[in-house]
Chains A and B, each alone.
Chain A
Amino acid sequence: MAEATQELLTTADGRPLKAALAAAQSRAKRRAFFLVLPLLLFIILTFLVPIGYMLKRSFEHDGFASSAPALVAWFGENRGFDPADPPEEAYAALVEDLARMQVEKTTGMAGTRINYSVPGSISMFKKGAREAKNLTPPFRDSLIAIDPEWASPALWRGMASASHVYTTEFYLVASDMKLNDHGWARGEDKERIYLYLFFKTFVISGIITVLCLLLAFPVSHLLATLPMAKSSLLMIFVLLPFWTSLLVRTSAWIALLQEQGVVNDLLVGLGLVSDEGRLTMMYNMTGTIVAMTHVLLPFMILPLYSVMRVIPPSYARAARSLGATSWTTFRRVYMPQTLPGIAAGSLLVFILAVGYYITPALVGGADGQLISNLISFHMNKSNWSLAAAIAGMLLAAILALYWLYDRLIGIDRLKLG
């Protein structure tokens, strides 16, 4: 038996079976490939290329490298220099470059690049460039005369690092690291905003996911068990907000929850809350959570519904006939069978929430901002590389989440409707 399977199988005319099979199917395979080719190209051009470009930007910045050729050359030759005490030639190269920047109007570009790792350098560069052509040797002393910070080891480390076009500095900055006189280190607590915001984004997304699950479970169950006519009507109620503009829905929440809004007016009218003690439910974290839970609810309902719809009622009946109370039936028979839906819905809602931008921007106020709002902030300030680095970290976190999901539940059990 074992020998027979070892033997190479051939067709009646002696060709190897595998080759014959491939030849017979090649035409169909080619046609299928050409059918999906447009979509493949579309996805590559509109999805993979932009993401790749964004990731490249997060490692790349030539603001300094392209505008300071003398210093770049010197750094290239003196890799082991002591940033605490750079020699006179280094200062000479720096002054030469500063003078060139003034002529070529690249001071801002170069200063901005150094400013990421050494805050405050941009004004130094502008001042230095203005006076560069009047400086006389020894340049070390004349530069220090303008600003003693020109001798700062942190600055020299920053410039040495910025002389390379490719760098991981933006990821260090996005992880709240700071360049000091001895190298990269954790920044001071009050300056650490990125990781805290990442953490906050994940916690809020978690809260939203749990709220969505609690709200969606009974609705999905109703959808799955009601007679067709009623469940269709209910489905329209679920989908109607889905089809309404996000801005309209968010403004509706503002109208409801703001201090002079419907809910507060009602509470004051009922005497539950005094006029001065109106609740702040908008332009803070509460506003973000409420509005985002509402916006993301359909993404939980739909996968849950698709799973619940195919669970026959006979399982629950069987459990009841076997002696289980309705609670035990739910806990041990019904709920476990809805797990793929719970997992899919939670993953979907969580991932959408982590990257959500518009709702927190509109109703988040100061403390309801999420990481995506910070990405947008840096993009508006043209800090492309830093924005890309934060986005890259977000992408990595989401991919890690997928990986975890695949390990724990299995991506093939994902049911999205």
Chain B
Amino acid sequence: MTASAGTGDAAFVEFDGVQKSYDGQTLVVKGLNLKMPKGEFLTMLGPSGSGKTTCLMMLAGFETATNGEIRLNGRNINQVPPHKRGIGMVFQNYALFPHMTVGENLSFPLEVRGMAKSDREARIIRTLDMVQMGKFVNRRPAQLSGGQQQRIALARALVFDPELVLMDEPLGALDKQLREHMQFEIKHLHESLGITVVYVTHDQGEALTMSDRIAVFNDGRIQQLASPADLYERPENSFVAQFIGENNKLPGVIEELNGDKALVRLANGELIDATAVNAKEKGGKTLVSIRPERVEFKPEMMPEGAHMIGAEVIEVIYMGDILRAVLKVAGTDDFVIKMRNTLGQTRLSPGQKIKVGWHPQDARALDP
């Protein structure tokens, strides 16, 4: 785990002012700048249509950039055809060749590179063992389960030792348990092989678990590029706050702005302290974002300097490990708090009036 990798100077993969349009009327990717050092695991995360897959396809060479430059190892690859880029790729539906056995699938990239038969075989066995699929060399893809096909697809993308591997929602078709297991394995392979990975997903949990850095895409732009912890704890705008994890948002107006401290007047007239992130000016509208797990409702547990505010319980949802309560706070009726389902936990009931509170540091005033 090289969280500091992102700060390296030598960019291995670089997008420089890249724009992409399919129809000549609208931009799907609007001026993308991104530098990736060697060995990093970077995830492109975003809703569908945000431009993340287009970026991956441009990097792989299946789409051409309308404007701007894509560089690999310092070399402009805009005009390099996909088969000369030497980039491994794992596709969403695996794209294993159905008329070839597993061994032949893995042999394919080595054959087109003119590798001798004996070398090929050794390499194939080594790579299959790496994904624990050594016994399946003579099977056809159709005879394998989804998870096994996934491993083969991974092995095929790695067998020719590419320095850069692209993954396009590779775990999307697997069930939850298998997906979590594969996340761990992919992460492990990344670490042990020292490869650079660009991973595309719309699953934020996956992105948080696996990545060194995450680029959150929306509307053809990177909204925030940061480590998982930064992204979750310090979202820079409401889209990121909203997209990553669960989030409570309270609309208001900025009364006072003093460095990174802001005084916000909520919809019901109440004043709260918040950390100003991209609240631009006094009198401007803002959206205060607070993570549910940072909200406390028991007076004895309240952090020092917490801001307390009245709330009414609307609904309590039993979820097994936690209890989720939906509250009405400052005119907003979808304010969520979470309570661990421990022995002796206070059980709230609908209609109950309580007080909730949080540390001003956890309340982030973002763009409306």
Contacts and interface: CB of A to CB of B under 8 A. Distances in A.
Contacts of B87: 321
Nearest to B60: A321
Interface residues of B, number: 28
Contacts of B60: 317, 321
Interface in A100-139: none
Contact of A321 (B83, B98, B113): B83
Given A317-B95, A321-B83, A321-B85, 8 more contacts: A312-B93, A315-B97, A318-B91, A318-B95, A321-B61, A322-B88, A326-B83, A337-B99
Query: B60, B108, B109: which has the most chain A beta carbons within 10 Å?
Result: B108
9 contacts: A312-B95, A315-B95, A315-B97, A317-B91, A317-B95, A321-B61, A322-B157, A324-B112, A333-B97
B41 interface: no
A317 B108 contact: no
Contacts of A312: 93, 95
A317 B112 CA distance: 15
A52 interface: no
B20 interface: no
A58 B201 CA distance: 70
Interface string A289-323: 00000000000000000000000101101111111
B101 interface: no
Given A312-B93, A314-B93, A328-B112, A321 B99 contact: no
A317 B62 contact: yes
Interface residues of A, number: 19
Interface in A307-356: 312, 314-315, 317-326, 328, 332-333, 336-337, 339
A317 B82 contact: yes
Contact of A322 (B62, B93, B98, B156): B156
B108 A324 contact: yes
A178 B54 CA distance: 75
A318 B81 CA distance: 13
B82 to A, nearest CB: 4
A322 B99 contact: no
Interface string B31-71: 00000000000000000000000000000111000000000
A321 B93 contact: no
Contacts of A319: 97, 108
B154 interface: no
A323 B89 contact: no
A324 B100 CA distance: 15
A299 B98 CA distance: 26
Interface of B: 60-62, 81-89, 91-93, 95-99, 108-109, 112-113, 156-157, 160, 166
Given A317-B82, A336-B99, A322 B91 contact: no
Nearest to B84: A323
A405 to B, nearest CB: 18
A323 B93 contact: no
Given A312-B93, A315-B95, A336-B99, A321 B108 contact: no
Nearest to B104: A332
Contacts of B98: 337
A323 B91 contact: no
A101 to B, nearest CB: 68
Given A315-B97, A333-B97, A337-B99, A322 B92 contact: no
B112 A321 contact: no
Contact of A314 (B83, B95, B112): B95
A315 B153 CA distance: 12
Contacts of A332: 108
Given A318-B89, A332-B108, A323 B83 contact: yes
Contacts of A318: 89, 91, 95-97, 156
A43 B112 CA distance: 53
B109 A323 contact: yes
Contacts of B157: 321-322
Contacts of B166: 321
Contacts of A324: 83, 108-109, 112
B97 A321 contact: no
A297 B216 CA distance: 51
Contacts of A323: 83-84, 86, 109, 112-113, 160
A320 B83 contact: yes
Nearest to B93: A314
A319 B93 CA distance: 14
